Amino acid sequence: MTTTQAGLSLSTGDAYREKMFKLLGDQNPLEVMGQTASKLADIAEKHPATVLRTRPFAGKWTPNEVIGHLTDTEWVYGYRLRLILSEDNPTILGTQQDAWVAKLRYNELEPRKLVEIFRTLRELNLEEWRRASADDLRRTGRHNERGPESLDAMLRLLAGHDLNHLDQINRYIQAVQKTPPR
């Protein structure tokens, strides 16, 4: 549990949702999501793989692992979108994101390859998000950690998630580039 400034308790899931919604602000989530693949491609083009594979802080992901995480997230949210559109109030499961990143060994993959996988998944999913009607966006699933979640909330959450991790990648690259060679 976390506590807000007003003294009200928020679950960790609620706090996470609010953080992502705040990052998105008034931006159109579909526009934000439509730009993410290009921003990732620019990062992979601009920075050598050695920089993107360098761990900036002990116990944290590398920029390349963050790209892998975004790819996993796109796969997962594409599945959740289709599940909620097709079933009534289905259970949607959280993932063990650290285990996925480690076990799938994203740091061994070429950054540009990861970005292309992300781009393919994102294009496929954006087409479904754009086809969703207002009624579709009100459909819900029950997240096993965050509780009820509408497709509209998931859309905004995903766009905020993109912004959060793009910022993280850029901060991590800056940290790597400031670290003196050993």
Alpha-carbon dihedral angle through residues 54, 108, 169, 73, given to the nearest 10 degrees? -150
Residue 171 in any domain: the answer is yes
Dist CA 135 CA 132 (whole Å): 8
- Using pLDDT thresholds of 50, 70 and 90, give the confidence band for residue 145: confident
Residue 84 in any domain: the answer is yes
Residue 8 in any domain: the answer is no
The CATH number that applies at residue 76 is: 1.20.120.450
State yes or no: pLDDT of 3 exceeds 50: no
Domain count, the chain: 1
- Using pLDDT thresholds of 50, 70 and 90, give the confidence band for residue 114: very high
**Residue 162, Cα to own-chain centre: how many angstroms?**
5
Reported in sequence order, the residue ranges of 36-164 that DSSP labels E, i.e. its strands, are: 91-92, 140-143, 147-150
Residue 68 in any domain: the answer is yes
Q: How many CA atoms are closer than 13 Å to the CA of 84, on its beta-carbon side? A: 30
| Mean pLDDT on 80-85 | 97
Can you give the residue range of the structural domain that contains 133?
Answer: 27-178
State yes or no: pLDDT of 2 exceeds 50: no
